[in-house]
Amino acid sequence: MAGTDVFTEIVDGEQVYKYYADGEWKKSASGKSVSIVNPTTRQTQYKVQACTQEEVNKVMEAAKTAQKLWARTPLWKRAEHLHKAAAILKEHRAPIAVCLVKEIAKPAKDAVTEVVRSGDLVSYTAEEGVRILGEGKLLVSDSFPGNERSKYCLSSKVPLGVVLAIPPFNYPVNLAVSKIAPALIAGNSLVLKPPTQGAVAALHMIQCFHLAGFPKGLISCVTGKGSEIGDFLTMHPGVNCISFTGGDTGIAISKKAGMIPLQMELGGKDACIVLEDADLDLVASNIVKGGYSYSGQRCTAVKVVLVMESVVDAVVEKVKSKMAKLSVGSPEDDCDITPVVSESSANFIEGLVMDAKEKGATFCQEYRREGNLIWPLLLDHVRPDMRIAWEEPFGPVLPVIRISSVEEGIHHCNASNFGLQGCVFTRDINKAILISDAMETGTVQINSAPARGPDHFPFQGLKDSGIGSQGITNSINMMTKIKSTVINLPSPSYTMG
Ligand SMILES: NC(=O)c1ccc[n+]([C@@H]2O[C@H](COP(=O)([O-])OP(=O)(O)OC[C@H]3O[C@@H](n4cnc5c(N)ncnc54)[C@H](O)[C@@H]3O)[C@@H](O)[C@H]2O)c1
């Protein structure tokens, strides 16, 4: 297993992690740092540089210059660099996973999985890029009325320029590489602004890309408070594309960004609709896995359960007995339920729980919280007048709404301002397809909890859940534009002979 020695250059003498620009690790001229609080101990764990706007300007300039040369680098060579980065990343999964445990309280095994999955994503993107970017299109003019065959149009995909990537705290490595790899294979340069919680894991990941030998300036990583350098970055004239994953901040960015392509993966309120004929054991295990993995801090977590009256008591009982087996504690011990990312997040979750309590929801377990650690809670008899019926807790609390018809479930799902994923449990595949068609979400899972992966599947949200579609192929395409070259012949090409 690779050690931590390769990461010593990314931290300064005062143990503040440096930012990455122009192929080097640097200290910010601001002399200021941003603290990263360990969600478990609630003590400062790490510090990162608070970059200045001037430093952002320099990064953008370097990214623009480096991109021009990178775009001329043969596609197979770009892929080779990415494969190398993927291998280095996987080799250093252990020290990166430690950062994920300390910064975002991700259970230890899941933290390793995130890094390995990220390496796989980078390699797959390199493979996919070589295939799809190596293909173009030929059009001939005589298929359109009034034209002879005197024009040949060759179209291919070319890079956009500088891509700005902003991932969220919950998958700071995976949701960074899901932007970095497609941007690079397509010939773009990349500026990463990691989330504060997760920044150090992201900086370690960037060091793996550095070790893979990408040209100077092609990749940069600036750290600082989103609220301080965020707007400056997203409204920067040097940015040609923004790929963002996070919450409502993405809606604000979409309104402020200029006329550039945007990829927005935002929040969700993924509904799980359970019909009378469903396999209730399958339902219960998917609700527990879907609702409580990583303490519910996943965009595709099950966030509201809508169950037909006739089976709801059985579902609740089965879910309760499985929940009793969830371990609660520290991420180092690989517990199922670990502290949520911050005190403000825990307070927000508690606010939703108390609102539901005041309005008459039934608690299936006792509500318990110690610091940022919230014990898993199932709320039954939730009604539409409760906030938790609509809002995204991003914590281990899950509402159950009893429904008397499938239409009622679909109506609740579609009345949400979110539209990320949803799922339906039934043994009747014909009915499942009808329900899938009626649900206004980017994806509907039949007989499984919502999930983002495998990472090459299309992934998209409707309404406030996002703009555009992701998944490896879609992301590569999104980070390119079509360029056409038209060959104009002096006479139609079929006149000879
Ligand atoms: N749809 C998806 O694929 C997906 C995946 C994971 C998480 N999410 C969503 O992300 C949210 C949780 O993540 P979060 O709390 O990190 O989200 P967030 O919106 O608070 O932050 C996301 C990122 O934006 C940065 N940021 C904050 N203010 C900014 C500004 N003014 N300009 C530019 N950047 C700024 C943050 O530093 C962070 O890197 C949830 O709503 C979850 O559903 C969505």
Q: Is the CB of 231 under 6 A from ligand 1?
A: yes
Q: Is the CB of 420 under 6 A from ligand 1?
A: yes
* Nearest Cα residue to atom 38 of ligand 1: 195
What is the per-residue pLDDT across 144-190, written as a single tens digit (0 to 9) for each?
A: 999 999 999 999 999 999 999 999 999 999 999 999 999 999 999 99
Q: What's the gap in Å between 18 CA and the centre of ligand 1?
A: 22
Q: What's the gap in Å between 21 CA and the centre of ligand 1?
A: 23
Tokens representing residue 401 in the block: 């709404």
Percent of the chain with pLDDT over 90: 97
8-state DSSP, 489: P
H/E stretch holding 19 reads strand 19-21
Ligand 1 nearest atom to the CA of residue 172, by list position: 39
Q: What's the gap in Å between 355 CA and the centre of ligand 1?
A: 25
State the chain's mean pLDDT as an integer.
97
* Nearest Cα residue to atom 5 of ligand 1: 299
Residue 223 and residue 34: Cα distance in Å, rounded? 8
Are 470 and 300 in contact by the 8 Å Cβ rule? The answer is: no
Active site residues per annotation: 265, 299
Average pLDDT of the residues in 103-107:
98
Tell me the pLDDT band of 226, cut-offs 50, 70 and 90. Answer: confident
pLDDT over 90 at 103, yes or no: yes
* Nearest Cα residue to atom 30 of ligand 1: 230
Tell me: cis bond preceding 167? Omega within 30 of 0 counts: no
8-state DSSP, 439: S
Q: Is the CB of 170 under 6 A from ligand 1?
A: yes
The gap from C-alpha 13 to its chain's centroid, in whole angstroms, comes to 33
pLDDT over 70 at 364, yes or no: yes
Tell me the pLDDT band of 227, cut-offs 50, 70 and 90. Answer: confident
Q: What's the gap in Å between 171 CA and the centre of ligand 1?
A: 10
Q: Is the CB of 468 under 6 A from ligand 1?
A: no
Q: What's the gap in Å between 325 CA and the centre of ligand 1?
A: 31
Q: Is the CB of 245 under 6 A from ligand 1?
A: yes
Are 486 and 496 in contact by the 8 Å Cβ rule? The answer is: no
Residue 183 and residue 126: Cα distance in Å, rounded? 11
Percent of the chain with pLDDT over 70: 100
Q: Is the CB of 461 under 6 A from ligand 1?
A: yes
Q: Is the CB of 224 under 6 A from ligand 1?
A: no
In one letter, which amino acid is 454? P
Tokens representing residue 148 in the block: 């002879």
Confidence at residue 4, expressed as pLDDT on a 0 to 100 scale: 81
Q: Is the CB of 234 under 6 A from ligand 1?
A: yes
Confidence at residue 225, expressed as pLDDT on a 0 to 100 scale: 79
First-to-last C-alpha distance (Å) of the chain: 68
Closest by CA position to 102, among listed 434, 338, 296: 338
Tell me the pLDDT band of 1, cut-offs 50, 70 and 90. Answer: very low
What is the per-residue pLDDT across 110-142, written as a single tens digit (0 to 9) for each?
A: 999 999 999 999 999 999 999 999 999 999 999
Q: What's the gap in Å between 3 CA and the centre of ligand 1?
A: 31
Average pLDDT of the residues in 266-273:
98
pLDDT over 60 at 477, yes or no: yes
Best mutation site among 249, 460, 467 for ligand 1, i.e. most ligand atoms within 8 A of its Cβ? 249
ipTM (interface pTM):
0.96
* Nearest Cα residue to atom 6 of ligand 1: 299
pTM to 2 decimals? 0.97
Tell me the pLDDT band of 2, cut-offs 50, 70 and 90. Answer: low
What is the per-residue pLDDT across 239-260, written as a single tens digit (0 to 9) for each?
A: 999 999 999 999 999 999 999 9
Q: What's the gap in Å between 376 CA and the centre of ligand 1?
A: 23
Average pLDDT of the residues in 63-74:
98
Tell me the pLDDT band of 494, cut-offs 50, 70 and 90. Answer: confident
